[in-house]
Amino acid sequence: MVTDRLRERRERNRSCESTRTERGQVILIGALALAFIILGVVVVFNGVVYTETLSSSETGQSATTAEATELEIQQGVGCLIAEQDDDDLAKKNITAFNDLYQNSTAHSSPAVVNISADADEIYAGDNATVTITYDSNEHHYEQERTIKASDCPENS
């Protein structure tokens, strides 16, 4: 009788242990699933951060684009001034240069550049004062520059 009671208790305890281990396995599977979900979220978030970093690095290039534009205009107008002896003809050539420059950069640059010159500020063969207006998504500025004939790279 005593042994029967002990045997019954052991059998009851064993059935409880089997449900406990099953619960432990379910908890373990749930924890692994949660770990994989968190890992997936981290990977996606890292990809988004990396993409943002790449897209924002392009804005650093826009200042370089503006500087390159200024240099192109300075050299181009400098060569026009160096080759002209007539102030009115130099003004017409600067206006034509503006149109040609806008046409040539329309497809390669996301910016609009306008070059205007006052006829009273053009001294053919020496220098000209021009107003450069630069418009892009990131920058907008207008500056007045005195460009010399010596700015032409062919004269250097």
108's enclosing H/E stretch is none
For residue 122, list its beta bridge partners: 128
Q: What is the pLDDT of residue 38?
A: 96
Under DSSP, is residue 25 helix (H, G, I), strand (E, B) or coil?
helix
- Kindly state the DSSP code that residue 133 receives in the 8-state scheme: E
Backbone phi and psi for residue 26, each to the nearest 5 degrees, phi listed first? -65, -40
Structural contact between residues 135 and 141, judged by C-beta atoms closer than 8 angstroms: no
The pTM assigned to this predicted structure is 0.57
| Domain ranges within the chain, ordered by starting residue | 62-155
Q: What is the pLDDT of residue 30?
A: 94
Q: What is the pLDDT of residue 134?
A: 86
Q: What is the pLDDT of residue 28?
A: 92
**pLDDT values of the chain reduced to their tens digit, one per residue, 156 residues:** 556 677 777 777 665 555 566 788 899 999 999 999 999 999 998 888 877 666 655 555 555 777 888 888 999 999 888 888 888 888 898 999 999 988 888 777 778 889 998 888 888 788 899 999 988 887 788 989 999 988 888 865
Distance, CA of 12 to CA of 5 (rounded, Å):
11
Distance, CA of 103 to CA of 90 (rounded, Å):
20
Q: What is the pLDDT of residue 65?
A: 76
Backbone phi and psi for residue 141, each to the nearest 5 degrees, phi listed first? -150, 160
Structural contact between residues 69 and 113, judged by C-beta atoms closer than 8 angstroms: yes
